[in-house]
Structure 1
Amino acid sequence: MSRVALVLRHADEIHLGNLEQVLIEHGYAVRYVDTLSADGVQGIDPAAADLFVVLGGEMGVYQADEFPVLAEEVQLLADRLAARRPVFGVCLGAQLMASALGSSVYRGPSNEIGYRLVEPTEAGQDSPLRHVNGIPMMQWHSDTFDLPAGTTRLAGSTAYGNEAFAIEDWALAVQFHPELTAEMHEQWLASSEAEVRAEGLNPDELRRERTEHSEAMQQASRALFSEWLSGLPGGAADPRRTP
C-alpha cells in the first residue's frame, strides 16, 4: 500500500514542482489540500497521513485576521509536530512550522527574490542540507522567524540567518524554494512582475539567473529531499525509479 503525502497548498501555482516525482519514486501517493478552499484544513487528522508537506504562499503567518485558515494550519501543525509525525515545510510552510513550535514570525529586512547561496551550518553539513552547499537556491520571501526551541539550525544566508531547521530526522523546514522548476519560475515572474520591478529588479536578469542556476538547483533539491525521505523513521522504501 502506498504511503500518503498530504500537501497543504496555498496557491495553484505554488505546488510541489520537481519534488512531486521524488515523492512518487519513494512510494507516496500525493494528495493536495487547497487551504484557501471553503473547507480549508477542517477535518484533517493531524496524525493520519504518513507525511505532511506544507508549501509556500503570498500571505504571512501574522495575517490570520485576513486569512483565518492560517491559525487553523498552525494548530494542525502544532498537533502534528507534538505527535512527532513527519513534516516538510517550504517558505510559508517553514514559517507556519516555526509558529506552531511557539516562535515569532515577522517581516524580514528585505524582500529577497532570486537565486542566492544558502550556507549549511556544521549540523547542516551532516544532513541532507549539504546538497545545497555552493548551489544558488531560489529565494522569494520577505518574512523570517525566530529559531524554535528544540530544533537544530541547518542553514543560513547573508540576508537571513534562519534558512533551514530540523527536529531530529522527522521534521525539516526550509525558507528557500527547492521545489521550483523553470516553468514555475516563469509563471511567478509573469504574475508578480509589478512586485519584481518595485524591488528594482529586472525580470530578464532573473531569467538569466534561472538559465545559469536552475538545473543545478533542481538536482540539489531532489538529492536533499530524496535523502531526507529515505531517512524518515519507520524505514522509507528504497526509491523506485520510473521510466
Structure 2
Amino acid sequence: MTSQPTRKTGLIIRHVPHEGIAGYRAPIEAAGYALDRIDVSDAGFGALDLTEPDLLIMMGGPMGVYERNAHPWIACQLRRLARRIEAGRPTLGVCFGAQMMAAAMGANVYPGPAKEVGFHALSFVDPSSPLRHLADVPVLHWHGDTFDLPADVELLASTAAYPHQAFRRGNNILALQFHGEMGLDPRFDEWLRQWPDALAETGGSVEGMRELHRRFGPHAVDAGRTMISEWLAGLS
C-alpha cells in the first residue's frame, strides 16, 4: 500500500479576532499547508512550542510591542519566537507580527512619526525579491509603530514615512509591515468601526476608506497572493 505524504503544518497566531490571515490563506493552502489557528487569549497559548509548525504566521493587532505590562503574553511570545527565528524556521509576520519579529531579533520597536493609514504604493521595492509583484500596486497601510532593522537582514520595501516596510533573513524569515492580505475580507468593516480615530488623524473618512478598499483591494490581494506564493516556493 502506498503511504500518503504528510501534509505540512501551518499555525496562524491571531492577536485580535478581526485581523486574520485573509487573502494569504489561499496561496498558503495551495502550497500544501494544513492551517491551524490560535488566539493569544487562548488558555493554551503560553505553553505552545512555536518551533514546531512547519510555517508560523503572525498577524496584526492594535497593541504595541512595548506594551508588555498591559499584554503579558507579548514577552512570552517574543522568547519563543526568538528561538524559532534563530533556528531559521519559516516565519511570516504582518504589521504587529512583523514588529514582533524585529523585536525578537533584537531591534527596537517604537511609535512612528505619524500614523500611516490608507491604500498607496510602496516607494521602494527590492526587484530581486518576491515583493517585486507589489511594485506600483496600492496596498493597505494601517500602522503607527515602526522598528529599527535587525542585524543580518535585507530591507525589501519602504515608504517615505516608514522606510522599514519589509525585511527578510535568508529564504525563510519574512516580515511585512503593510497589509497585502487585505482588500477582499469583510472583516475590514470591523477595522473601520474599531479605529475611526486613525482615519481622522490621517485626514480620511470611513466612507472614503471604503471606496479605496473597493477600488484597490482586489488588485492588492492578487499581488499579495503572488508574492506569498513565490516566497513559499523558495523556502529552504
TM bracket (short chain): over 0.9
Match of 1:70 among 59, 71, 74: 74
Quick one: which amino acid aligns to residue 75 of structure 1? R
- How many aligned positions are there? 230
Comparing 194-203 with 160-169, greater Cα deviation is found at: 194-203
Distance 1:196 1:62 in 2: 23
- Post-superposition Cα deviations, 1:60-87, rounded to whole Å, max 9, x if no partner, equal 0000110011111111110001111110
Quick check: 2:109–2:145 contact (8 Å CA) kept in 1? Answer: yes
Quick one: which amino acid aligns to residue 95 of structure 1? Q
Quick check: 2:183–2:213 contact (8 Å CA) kept in 1? Answer: no
Distance 1:21 1:212 in 2: 21
Quick one: which amino acid aligns to residue 217 of structure 2? S
Confirm or deny that 1:185 pairs with 2:188. yes
The residue that corresponds to 1:151 in the other structure is 153
Quick one: which amino acid aligns to residue 106 of structure 1? Y
Question: 1:11-160 counterparts in 2 under 5 A?
Answer: 11-40=16-45, 42-121=46-125, 124-160=126-162
Quick one: which amino acid aligns to residue 214 of structure 2? T
Quick one: which amino acid aligns to residue 76 of structure 1? R
Confirm or deny that 1:2 pairs with 2:7. yes
Distance 1:85 1:44 in 2: 15
Give me the identity figure in percent. Answer: 35
Distance 2:103 2:68 in 1: 12
Change (3 A) 1:198 1:156: closer
Quick check: 1:52–1:88 contact (8 Å CA) kept in 2? Answer: yes
The residue that corresponds to 2:227 in the other structure is 224
Quick check: 1:118–1:136 contact (8 Å CA) kept in 2? Answer: yes
Quick one: which amino acid aligns to residue 9 of structure 2? V
Distance 1:36 1:159 in 2: 32
- Please tell me the root mean square deviation across aligned C-alpha atoms, in Å: 1.3
What runs of 5+ residues in structure 1 fail to find an aligned partner? 234-243
TM-score, with length taken from structure 1: 0.91
Comparing 22-31 with 179-188, greater Cα deviation is found at: 179-188
Q: After the TM superposition, which parts of structure 1 deviate over 4 Å for at least 4 consecutive aligned residues?
A: none
